[in-house]
Amino acid sequence: DLAGNVWVNRAEIPGNGRDDDGNGYVDDFRGWNIVLNNDVITNRTIHGTPIAGIIGAKGNNGVGIAGINWNVKLMMVAGVPQTEAQALTAYS
C-alpha cells in the first residue's frame, strides 16, 4: 500500500556518486539519511513505516489499510536528528 506513494528524486541518477540535481546531496534518489549522509532509508526503529501507512497508504484497493491521503508522495528521511534545525534541513 505504500510503494505507489513513495517519492523518488527523478532528478538524481542513483549510485553514480554525483549530485545530479545540484541540491547539495549526492545520490539522494530515495530520500535521505541525516546520520549516514546517504539515501539508505532503512527503517530500523519500526516507527516510520506505520506512520507512513497512516499518512499515505493507498485506499480503495482491497489491500491492507487506507491512509489519510491515498494519493500523496511520501519522502523518506531516516536517522535521529540531534536538533530541530537538522530535522528541518533534512526535509528541505
**pLDDT tens digit string along 44-65?**
667 888 888 899 999 888 888 8
Summary mean pLDDT of the chain: 87
* DSSP 8-state assignment for residue 1: -
Cβ of 84: how many Cβ atoms within 10 Å?
8
Helices (H), 1-92: 48-56, 84-91
pTM of the model: 0.74
25-47-33 Cα angle (round to 5): 10
Q: What is the pLDDT of residues 29-46, one digit of tens each?
A: 998 888 888 988 876 667
